[in-house]
Amino acid sequence: MIGRLSGTLLAKSPPALLVDVGGVGYELEAPMSTFYRLPAAGEPVVLHTHLLVREDAQLLYGFASEAERTLFRQLLKVSGVGAKLALVILSGVGAQELCDIVAGGDAARLVRVPGIGRKTAERLILELREPLARLGAVSPASAAVAASGGGDVRQDAASALEALGYKPNEARAALRDLPIEGQRSEDLIRAALKRLMRG
């Protein structure tokens, strides 16, 4: 099992990233909450990882904190929740907000995440309440948002939102009128997700 990677961040394109560790390039997927805290390409990075072995693939997921990885693993235990949906949930609401949602039984906030219906939201709350209570407060440490590479930040942000499950028209509407001068794609994604979560 690969539990941690420490190396150089070579590339990042939500939700995918590439990390060089001793000359070996590891491809990972990560939630937006982790992308917000990544350094610029070429900088050192440390990620907590989860390796998912399937019959047809070996998939590696990276997280900025152990708390995020713990929540990801708990989400995978919920019936009907796979790795892709778990990443979307952590990207849409973040680790601490998910804990707050579960503690407060606020299914309505989860329903705003793409791919989550009312029944799935209620099942998530029901099945996560006890494990999260056993774990205690899961509070990921805040960290600085790192710079992103060049390119069209609005298009990069739109592509990331679509990869998270939002329809192209929803992504465009959420990004419309957001100022892009001096902004990173991570900044636009964060602002757009806030708009989308407000409905």
Residue with tokens 């099942």: 123
Q: No. of H helices and E strands in the chain?
A: 9, 5
Phi and psi of 131, rounded to 5°? Answer: -60, -40
Are 124 and 95 within one domain?
Answer: yes
Average of per-residue pLDDT values in the chain: 83
Q: What is the CATH number of the domain that holds 15?
A: 2.40.50.140
Phi and psi of 63, rounded to 5°? Answer: -140, 145
> In this model, does residue 1 exceed pLDDT 50?
yes
Going by pLDDT thresholds of 50, 70 and 90, the confidence category of residue 143 is very low
How many domains are there within the chain? 3
Encode pLDDT of 30-76 as tens digits.
999 899 899 999 999 999 999 999 889 899 999 999 889 999 999 99
Helix, strand, coil share of the chain (percent; to 5): 45, 20, 35
pTM of the shown model: 0.68
Residue 8 forms part of a structural domain: yes
Give the residue numbers spanning the domain of 52: 4-63
Residue 143 forms part of a structural domain: no
Report pLDDT for 46. 96
> In this model, does residue 22 exceed pLDDT 50?
yes
Residue 177 forms part of a structural domain: yes
Encode pLDDT of 90-125 as tens digits.
998 888 888 888 888 888 888 888 888 888 888 898
Ranges of beta strands (E only) in the chain are: 4-13, 16-21, 24-29, 44-53, 58-63
* pLDDT average, residue stretch 156-173: 80
